[in-house]
Structure 1
Amino acid sequence: MKVRPRSLGLAGVLLLMFAVGLLVTVPEIVKQQVTAKVQIDPDSGLAYTMWRDIPIPLYMSLYLFEVKNPQEILNGEKPVLEERGPYVYREYRWKSNITFHNNYTVSYREYKRYHFCPERSAGSESDEIVLPNVLALMNNSNAGLFTVYTGVNNIAKVHLVDNWNGLKEVNYWRSDQCNMINGTAGEMWPPFMTPSDALTFFSPDSCRTLELVFQKSGRTFGLPSFRYIAPKTMFANGTVYPPNEGFCPCRQSGVLNVSTCRHNAQVFISYPHFYNADPVLWEAVSGLHPNEKDHALFIDIHPLTGIPLNVSIKLQLNLFVKAVHGITETGNIQPVLLPLLWFDEMGRIDGPPLHTFYNFLVLVPNVFEYLQYTLIAVGCLLVLIAVVVKIVHWKQQISVKGISSGTDKESQGASASLLPAGESNYTLLQQPSYLLD
């Protein structure tokens, strides 16, 4: 079978052109599919279902601080605390009163229900624990009326909060910047994220907007992910971090006074065990051991879609206590920020949603990526073979011409040597007259 260099070269060039076409069109196709799927639209499929009724298993681990020396505290001694727990609850979320508006927004209320999980807990709900105040979870509660953008007309705005309870900003704080309602509702974010993007969301529990920062990229359950963490300045006071001056009056750095949105109750929020806070706070009580492994929060998010893959949100509630003049029950309590409890709200993508995401966002793009590289490799190989074959043919032609030229010269020399001496080639051309008749 004769190899035709031109055919090989043409086939190679066509494969390369097709591979380049895939390199250009596949990312655009994926982008269009993601844009269509992550909109808050009943016709968008999986993303809308996940947004409406979160299928990811969510668990809240509750840790309580038992006061071991209540009488001594009344006498002015340092509080001694013992952490109890975790008491783990399965958390169910669902949205109700979903209403779409003409300005590409949708309003809803999200409700939560908790079921105790004894198999995951280090205690039972019947345990008796001494606390300065009892805070109970209200099942079927909601965090207010959120109105967010659907992203139908602008995918960059999907999930961003338009207003909360009809408000464009809150009035709990002392500066316009601190009162701003920014980001999402904390469930999903706009797609096509880059490491320079912050993870911003409005937290009704914190009465303010929170912002997480990019830490590193990696893979979570086989999916590409960005990890976001809370900056050390999130609950810093105005002295340590001037932009937070609007959240004051402040105490030591590392706690946020939320009394203005908690009916003026002296409640503060912080990271568990006063992690990332002024050491004065955790040294004022016994039994706290702040560390990054146990007490830092994080969110692993899929940057292409903006959907969280693995979440661990950890916050602590603290009560400011002191002796009150005229109320003998408060005794001689020294002013102290007393931890009440902390919780870890966890969730990770699993089961059918994980399989769907993996197939659509990892497996299919990988197949196209390998196909592109394979076509490029085969195309280059065919072009190379065509060039080599052409060179070989060219050398063979030169060699044949050289041999042919040498043979002709030798034949002419041999003919001349057969002539009798003194006779020319012309006489050989003379023909008998009878052959010309």
Structure 2
Amino acid sequence: MASSNNKKSIILGVVGLLLVVLGAVLVFVVPIVVKQQVEKNVRIDPSSGFAYEMWKDLPVPFFMSIYIFEVVNHKEFLLGEKPKVEQRGPYVYRESKQKTNITFHENGTVTYIETRLLQFEPKMSTGSEEDFIVFPNILVLGSSVMMQDFSFVKWMLSGAFAAFGQEAFINRTVKDILWGYKEPFLDFVNTLLPGKLPFKDKFGLFADYNNSNSGIFTVNTGVADINQVQMVDTWNGLREVNFWNSEQANMINGTSGQMWPPFRTPDQPLEFYSPDACRSLKFVFEKEDSYRGIPTFRYVAPNYLFANGSDYPPNEGFCPCTASGVMNVSACRAGAPLFLSFPHFYNADPGFVDAVDGLHPSEDLHSLFLDLHPLTGIPMNVSIKMQLSLFVKGVSGIPQTGQISPVILPLLWFKESGYIDGPVYNTYYNTLIVLPIVLEYVQYILIAVGLCLILVAAVLPCVHQKWENILQDPGETTESDQVTEAEKLLEEPDLSPQT
């Protein structure tokens, strides 16, 4: 019986020890497995399967919501009064992006063109593309400011405005304003001033945006160095642009703005090159957060993003500047006096808001954010917001511009938003979130169970011995007891009387 109990204890002890060793090994192995799994899923490699297909053709909801500012007192504005605007929209478009002409290079980079297509979503919109809106005529107001120092050209422009019936404001549909319409006057201006306007065949703020691409990107695949994955090598063959006035301002930094290298830490900002802004942008860490159970870092735009050179010296290269809060992008828009800012001049100098009635900047409504999964560098939830404005004024010699007081007039603002959802979310969550968590729990469960088995193996012989003593009957005379009693009787002397 004792031999059988000892054997059970030895078996339990050995099994427990094996479980503890296995759990301890997993403590070191799990982080390595997770790291390898992350690297496999974020590098740009056709052999990575799901991750590569997701990079090539992002199968998640992505929308562009556009809000247009209608000038509701355009007649009074022409007479010198402060402009008053009303926000119309949103006009929402589903945005799809697909990478084509993908070419891998021996130096660990890949070149591609990303085509974007937008489709109107009536059910998500407030209004129709057929809504009419009173809107600044950029062809008149923009070209007038551009030519204000050229007397002869101003005289020709003024005559052309009259001949083509051009006025300072137009009443056109949302579809025309955004996506363009044929305008004979545009052909005339492009003939008179070739290359001076950012509009070619049609006039429209996004005439060249839909069914187009943002240039030729060459980025690092991360196969050789995962810390360089997605980082831009060149854009349109360039490592820096020539729009701005300093080497730092012209640098092409970061990624293309869709993903970042994995294993992020809060002290690492998110940098990316935006062809639409013609410059590299930087977002900074704000706080730790989560998206549907996935831990994230929230990144926001720093206060100095659109600061002028006086308030933030590194931005001096983007000048000529106004007060902080708006960025002059005329250098990359054929000289058109266009400005970029946050919606409603949020986080800008108060003077911009005071100059226009109808603006109501709000952090909740007009600030941008990007929620990034720091382990993989993949955005989970994004809301990028920007406003486009036009500098307008009355130009002497061009009566169509009236007596407009100089002002940066907001034209529209847009929000690009997207989030991980559906089968993509499920695959991502199970592969990169659930699996590491399960492995982490398994390692500690194995160690705990192993230690319990070792403890049981140690105390089991003692328990068995104790129970044997308790269960034994005290009145029962064993065979050995009977032998001892007989020996005692034989040894005792006979004390009975003799006869």
Q: Please indicate, yes or no, whether the TM-score normalized by the shorter chain is above 0.5.
A: yes
Task: Look up the match of 2:79.
Answer: 75
Stretch of structure 1 that moved more, 60-69 or 138-147: 138-147
> In the alignment, what sits opposite 1:2?
5
Query: What SS does structure 1 have at the residue aligned with 2:129?
Result: coil
After TM superposition, list the pairs within 5 Å mapping 1:215-230 onto structure 2.
215-230=286-301
The answer to whether residue 329 in structure 2 is matched with residue 326 in structure 1 is no
Contact (CA 8 Å) 2:44, 2:229: kept in 1 or not? yes
Residues 116-167 of structure 1: CA deviation (Å, up to 9, x unaligned): 1110100001101111134432321111111111111111111100011111
Tell me the CA shift for residue 103 of structure 1: 1.1
Q: Counterpart in 2 of 1:280?
A: 351
1:318-397, aligned counterparts within 5 Å?
318-389=389-460
1:361-418, CA deviations, whole angstroms, 9 ceiling, x for partnerless residues? 1222222122112112212222333444467689999xxxxxxxxxxxxx9xx98xx8
Deviation at 1:316, TM superposition (A): 0.4
Q: Which amino acid aligns with 2:90?
A: P
TM score, norm. by length of structure 1: 0.88
* TM-aligned CA deviation for residue 44 of structure 1: 1.3
Residue in structure 2 matched with residue 257 of structure 1 by the alignment:
328
TM-score of the superposed pair, with normalisation by structure 2: 0.77
2:160 counterpart residue number: none
1:106 and 2:107 correspond: no
SS in 1 for 2:100: strand
| AA matched with 1:2 | N
Equivalent residues in 2 for 1:148-187, closer than 5 Å: 148-187=219-258
Whether 2:96 is the aligned partner of 1:25: answer: no
Structure of higher RCO (CA pairs closer than 8 Å, 6+ residues apart):
2
Instruction: Indicate if the aligned counterparts of 2:272 and 2:282 stay in contact, CA closer than 8 A.
Output: yes
- Secondary structure, aligned partner of 1:250: coil
For 1:394-409, list aligned pairs within 5 A. none
Structure 1, unmatched stretches of 5+, are 398-410, 421-437
User: Residue 192 in 1 paired to residue 263 in 2?
Assistant: yes
* 2:44/2:223 contact within 8 Å kept: yes
Alignment match, 1:63:
67
Choose which of 129, 133, 136 in structure 1 pairs with 2:133: 129
- Tell me, in whole angstroms, the C-alpha distance in 1 between the residues paired with 2:86 and 2:13: 77
**2: CA distance between counterparts of 1:91 and 1:379?**
54
Q: Give the Cα–Cα distance (whole angstroms) in 1 for the partners of residues 205 and 312 of structure 2.
A: 33
Greater displacement, 53-62 / 131-140 = 131-140
Question: 1:13 — aligned with what?
Answer: 17
**Structure 2 gap ranges (5+):** 139-176, 178-203, 469-483, 494-499
Q: Is the 2:5–2:464 Cα contact (8 Å) retained in structure 1?
A: no
SS at match of 1:225: strand
2:367 maps to which residue? 296
- Counterpart position of 1:115: 119
User: Residues of 2 paired with 1:175 and 1:136: CA distance?
Assistant: 28
2:56 is aligned with 1:52: yes
Could you tell me the percent identity over the aligned residues? 57
Write the distance in 1 (CA, Å) between the matches of 2:287 and 2:462.
Answer: 52
Q: What letter is aligned with 2:395? A: V
RMSD (Å) for aligned C-alpha atoms: 2.6
Whether the aligned pair in 1 keeps the contact of 2:37 and 2:432 (CA below 8 Å) is: no
- Residue 11 of structure 1 and its aligned partner are, at CA, apart by 2.5
How far apart, CA to CA, are the structure 2 residues paired with 1:394 and 1:273? 84
Aligned to 1:403: none
Can you list the C-alpha shifts for 1:192-215, whole angstroms capped at 9, x where unaligned?
222222111000111111111112
Counterparts of 1:205 and 1:56, CA distance in 2? 22
Higher mean Cα deviation, 282-291 or 381-390? 381-390
Contact 2:38 2:432 in 1 (8 A): no
User: Which position in structure 1 is the counterpart of 2:473?
Assistant: none
Residue of structure 1 equivalent to 2:166: none
User: Once the 2 structures are TM-superposed, how far is the Cα of residue 262 of structure 1 from its aligned partner?
Assistant: 0.5
1:266 and 2:337 are equivalent in the alignment: yes
CA distance in 2 between partners of 1:264 and 1:221 (Å): 45
C-alpha displacement of 1:189:
1.1
Distance 1:232 1:390 in 2: 71
Secondary structure in structure 2 of the residue aligned to 1:98: strand
Residue 43 of structure 1: SS of its match in structure 2?
Answer: helix
What CA deviation, in whole Å up to 9, does each residue of 1:220-269 have, x standing for no partner?
A: 12222221111111111112112211111110101111110110111110
Paired with 1:340 and 1:388, the residues of 2 have a C-alpha distance of 81
Partner Cα separation in structure 1 for residue 290 and residue 14 of structure 2 = 41
Answer yes or no: is the 8 Å Cα contact 2:5–2:460 preserved in 1.
no
Aligned counterpart for 2:38 among listed residues 9, 13, 34? 34
Aligned length: 412
CA distance in 1, matches of 2:234, 2:446: 50
Give, in whole Å, the separation in 1 of the partners of 2:253 and 2:274: 10
2:214 maps to 1:143: yes
Amino acid of the structure 2 residue aligned with 1:80: K
